[in-house]
Structures are given as C-alpha cells and as structure tokens.
Amino acid sequence: MRFYMPTMVYQETDAVKKHAKELAALGKKAFLITGKHSSKVNGSLADVEEALKQERRSFVLFDRVEENPSVETVAEAAELGKQEGVDFVIGIGGGSPMDAAKAIALLIANPKETAKCLYEPKELKALPLAEVPTTAGTGSETTPYAVLTYHEEHTKRSISYRIFADLALVDAKYLSCAGPGILVSTAVDALAHLLESYLNKGANSFNEMLSERGMSLWARAKEALRSGAPGQQEYQYLMEASTIAGMAISHTGTSLPHGMSYYLTYEKGVPHGVAVGLFQYAYMEAFEDREKVKRALSLLGFEKEEDFREFLTELIGEYSITEAELDRYAKGMMSNVKKLANFPYVMTEEKMRQMFALSLKTEA
C-alpha cells in the first residue's frame, strides 16, 4: 500500500487568521487568485488580505478566474504574476480559482515555458502554494489535480502535473454565503469523490478509511441539503467531508462518472457537481462488488440503490441528450484510458452506452 498527502491542513473557524504566520512563511510577495465576485462577499479575500498585511507581506490580486477555468486565463494571470515578481500563490474560492492557482504557480515558476507545457510530460515544479476553499465540493485544497478547459482540444482535462498545496486553510464559515444551487452541486461533487474513490480499482485501506468517514459525515448533512436549509453544523460536516474526499481521490483518482461528466459540462454548461451526480447511480449499478456497494449505501444512510437514486434526482434533477450524442459520448469514453483503468471490471462500448442511457433521458 502507498499513500501520499503532503499538504498541511488546518480546518477550523478563522483558520486564515489563526495561521497567518504559516501563510506568510511561504514567501515575500503573494499572488491572490480568485473568481469574479464571491470571495469579496463571503469574507475569504478580506481574511487573506488582512493576514498578509498583519505579517507585512505585499500582494497582487488576479480576480478574473471564470468557472471551469481556461488555459488562456491561467496564462494571462501567470504573465501578470511574472511582471509583478510574486514568489508564492494563494488560491481563494471554489475549485475553479483553486485549480487555476496550481497551474499559475507552475507557469510563474517556469518563466521560459508557454501554457502548452501544462499538458507536456516535463519535470516542472510550482511556486509555494496555499489554498482557501469557499465551496465544499472539489477538495482541490487536498488534491494534486488541476482541471482546466482546453479550448484548443474542445475539452476539459487535468493538467499533467501533480501539484499539492503546501498549506490548506479550511473554514466552513464561507459557505454561509453560498446559495442552495451552489451548495447542492458542490456537495454532490464531494459525494462523487467519496464514492468514486471507494468503488475504485486502486482502493486500499487508506482511501477506504477516508471515504467511509467522509460518507458518514455527508449523510449527516443530506436531509438539510434536501430541505434547502443547512446551518453552521451542516456546513462543517460538508466542508470536512469535501476536504477528506480530496485526500481520498488524491490516492485513487476519480472514476467513470467524472470522465462521463466532462461532455455535459463542456458542451452543455451543466455545473460540475450536477454533471458527476447524474452518473453515480449507474456507476453503483455497474460495480460488481455488491457487498461494497451495500456498505457505501449504508454509510450514506440509504437502504436501497433506488432510494439513493430518488434522493439524487430530487437534488439535481434530470437532463436529456440526443441519441447521436449518446453514441458519441460512449465512443469517446472508450478512449478515456485513465478513467477506464479505475473501473475494476471489463467495460465495453455497449455497457458504456447503457450507463449513459440509464443516467440521462434520450430524445431523437
């Protein structure tokens, strides 16, 4: 067995304030990476700025990371970072700014490279990096992955480098600004990470332990998610589940549902969490170790797979694709070697078609 998760994680109220010194120890001039609005509203950006001022560190802000961030945006930010001479990077926000921050930290540390290098097999190191999550979904603060939209290739893909943050400052209080749509979609992403790591070819005791704990935490927040009225206690459960889920997928990676979801997100703009949620039931159905599926269901507080399916449908709704899209997506997935490798059984194009058909409505 092997397990590697080198990020220093603090999860507590006022984590940024309490660990200002460790944040400042990462360098002299910080590059803050955020989305357009939310970090200014939920207090996370102000907390980081305050901590840096207190520790006498200068900083520059790039606040233009879009959802499903593109290689182009990352390249633009890296140019600014280089001009400003920053020597460490802090990602603040959901998975989009946190993932962008990883790629930006890599490009600034290697000023002679162009953005193309993000998808090349080179030995490159990134600048020191801290992450401050404001959604309880991607777990990017504890994963080495950065998923970018690659317009040149009409897809969304993980970059070639595994970049763990040096420091993750996790505070569930930022979730109180998130509306029900974002909360649900990100919580379902965390659920997908827990399940896809648990039901995975690379699973062993380490990630199973993390997934099992994460699922039982997720279960405690699920009724509040359904009723649309989560409070501080549920925010804590969800944030903890999401950070733990990040550790779990750091070990195994995600599986088929994440691969299948990218078509819906890239081509139809379906939010990441919703898109991965749509395929969870079909994945469970296809997983041949029924005892393990039962254990997962029980930890999540469901008696039967059907109950799980109904619950998810109530949370995220249903989506349709055409027959032609179904054929194309199923074919495309058959060349997604990485995700296929995480499914422990034989997969055929016909089976893949059935998984899409079970998860989405089809129209002519």
Q: How many residues bind Fe ion (CB under 5 A)?
A: 1
**What does the buried/exposed string (b/e) look like for 13-28 if buried means 16 or more CB atoms within 10 Å of the residue's CB?**
eebbeebbebbbebbe
Of the candidate spans 30-38, 52-60, 234-242, 343-351, the one that interacts with ligand NAP by CB under 6 A turns out to be 30-38
Residue 174 near ligand NAP by CB under 6 A: yes
**Which string of x and - marks every residue 96-135 that binds ligand NAP (by CB under 6 A)?**
x--x----------------------------------xx
CB of 26 to ligand NAP, least distance (A): 19
User: Does 259 help bind ligand NAP (rule: CB under 6 A)?
Assistant: no
Query: Considering the complex, what minimum distance in angstroms separates the CB of residue 323 from Fe ion?
Result: 27
Burial status of residue 135 (CB atoms within 10 A of its CB: 0-12, 13-18, 19 or more): buried
Q: Please report whether residue 189 would count as binding Fe ion according to CB under 5 A.
A: yes
Identify how many contiguous H helices and E strands the chain contains and give both numbers.
17, 10
- Report how far residue 7's alpha carbon sits from residue 301's, in angstroms, rounded to the nearest whole number: 31
Q: Which residue in 27, 214, 230, 273 binds ligand NAP (CB under 6 A)? A: 273
**Residue 37 touches ligand NAP, criterion: CB under 6 A:** yes
Whole-angstrom Cα distance, residue 317 to residue 363?
17
175 forms part of the interface with ligand NAP (CB under 6 A): yes
Tell me which of 31, 32, 38, 88 binds ligand NAP, using CB under 6 A. 38
Partner in contact with 186, chosen from ligand NAP, Fe ion, none, beta carbon below 5 to 8 Å by kind: ligand NAP
CA 46 to chain centre: 23
CA angle 124, 129, 132 (to 5 degrees): 140
Which of the listed partners (Fe ion, ligand NAP, none) does 236 bind, with a CB threshold of 5 to 8 Å by partner kind? none
- Residues 91 and 128: their CA atoms lie apart, in Å, by 11
Q: How far is the CB of 345 from ligand NAP (least distance, A)?
A: 24
Q: Is 186 in the site for ligand NAP (CB under 6 A)?
A: yes
The secondary structure of 130-185 as a DSSP string is EEEE-SSS--GGG-S--EEEEGGGTEEEE-S-----SEEEE-GGGGGG--HHHHHH
Structure tokens at 65: 């990371």
Cα–Cα distance for residue pair 211/245, rounded to 1 Å:
6
What is the Cα–Cα distance from 156 to 223, expressed in whole angstroms?
A: 32
Instruction: Tell me how many residues contact ligand NAP (CB under 6 A).
Output: 32
Q: Is 138 in the site for ligand NAP (CB under 6 A)?
A: yes
Least distance between Fe ion and beta carbon 224 (Å): 21
Q: Give which of Fe ion, ligand NAP, none residue 230 binds (C-beta under 5 to 8 Å, depending on kind).
A: none
DSSP label of 93: E
Are 140 and 131 contacting, i.e. CB atoms less than 8 angstroms apart?
A: yes
Residues forming contacts to Fe ion in the complex (CB under 5 A) are 189
Binding site for ligand NAP (CB under 6 A): 35-39, 42, 67-68, 93-96, 99, 134-135, 137-140, 143, 145-147, 174-175, 177-178, 182, 186, 189, 272-273
